[in-house]
């Protein structure tokens, strides 16, 4: 009597990101995962739209990490602030953040958040976009200065951290994937990793 074949062990899940925000979001799913840093040039291409840039970089990050871990299921993500078709990245400094918020006050902008899932060995590759429309309040210079000094969102695209005090500088947020604005759309992420073979509780 032949023995039943031993089931294959589950594939490793790897988050291809050094972002603490994305890592904290992944921890909500209560499934084991590793973290690896993708080595990707994030320079926009000439004429590249923000949504195209976010998709391309999310996929590039997932592919870069998957090349190092071909048996793993790898998640890559990227977010670009879309200001009337102009990509706005992370400000990096206080002065740059002031400039960004002054430009966006009283305006609606779209945060283009893309997530990609790649498993090289299985030949699996998918990418989705989760746009989030954010309408900023008509902020005074004093309000901008106070907010930035308190929250210091210099590592956030668009110079605001919605999960922190940044929620007070906006009038409205419109999204079908609530965590997309923080940096990783978990509804889409769950759907894609399930399709790749991960059991999500």
φ, ψ at 30 (rounded to 5°):
60, 40
Contact at 8 Å (CB) between 16 and 38? yes
Bridge partners (DSSP) listed for residue 41: none
Q: How far is CA 134 from CA 107, 160, 176, in A?
A: 8, 11, 13
Tokens of 68: 């190092």
Q: Residue 9: what pLDDT?
A: 75
Q: Is residue 2 part of a domain?
A: no
Tokens of 150: 């308190």
Q: Is residue 153 part of a domain?
A: yes
CA distance 36 to 88: 25
Among residues 184, 201, 191, 185, which one has the least CA distance to residue 18? 184
First to last CA, the chain: 36
Q: Is residue 201 part of a domain?
A: no
Give the residue numbers spanning the domain of 160. Answer: 13-196
Active site includes 41? no
Instruction: Using a cut of 0.85, tell me whether the model's pTM lies above it.
Output: yes
**Catalytically annotated residue among 34, 39, 51, 78:** 78
Q: Residue 89: what pLDDT?
A: 85
Q: Residue 201: what pLDDT?
A: 85
In 3-state terms, what secondary structure has residue 6?
coil
Q: What is the pLDDT along the chain (201 residues), one digit of tens a residue?
A: 456 555 667 899 999 999 999 999 999 999 999 999 999 999 999 999 999 999 999 999 999 999 999 999 999 999 999 999 999 889 999 999 999 999 999 999 999 999 999 999 999 999 999 999 999 999 999 999 999 999 999 999 899 999 889 999 999 999 999 999 999 999 999 999 999 999 998
Q: Is residue 108 part of a domain?
A: yes
Q: Is residue 102 part of a domain?
A: yes
CA distance 37 to 15: 8
User: Residue 86 carries which DSSP code?
Assistant: E
In 3-state terms, what secondary structure has residue 73?
strand
Structurally, the chain folds into a number of domains equal to: 1
Q: Is residue 1 part of a domain?
A: no
Contact at 8 Å (CB) between 201 and 193? no
DSSP assignments along 93-142, one per residue: SHHHHHHHHHHHTT-EEEEEEEEEEEETTTTEEEEEEEEEEEEE----HH
**Residue-level length of the chain:** 201
Domain of 178, CATH number, reads 3.90.950.10
């Amino acid at each position: 009597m032949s023995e039943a074949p031993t089931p294959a062990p589950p594939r490793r899940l790897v988050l291809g990101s050094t972002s603490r925000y994305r890592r904290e979001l992944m921890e909500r799913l209560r499934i084991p995962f590793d973290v690896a840093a993708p080595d990707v040039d994030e320079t926009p291409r000439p004429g590249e739209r923000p949504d195209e840039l976010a998709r391309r970089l999310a996929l590039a990050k997932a592919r870069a990490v998957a090349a190092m871990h071909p048996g793993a299921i790898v998640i890559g993500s990227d977010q670009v602030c879309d200001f009337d078709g102009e990509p706005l990245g992370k400000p990096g400094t206080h002065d740059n953040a002031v400039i960004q918020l002054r430009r966006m006050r009283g305006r609606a902008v779209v945060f283009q958040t893309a997530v990609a899932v790649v498993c090289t060995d299985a030949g699996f590759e998918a990418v989705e976009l989760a746009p989030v429309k954010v309408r900023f309040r008509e902020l005074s210079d004093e309000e901008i200065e106070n907010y930035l000094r308190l929250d210091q969102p210099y590592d956030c695209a668009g110079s605001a951290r919605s999960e922190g005090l940044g929620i007070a500088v906006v009038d409205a947020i419109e999204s079908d994937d609530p965590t997309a604005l923080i940096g990783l759309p978990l509804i889409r992420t769950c759907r894609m990793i399930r399709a790749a073979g991960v059991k999500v509780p």
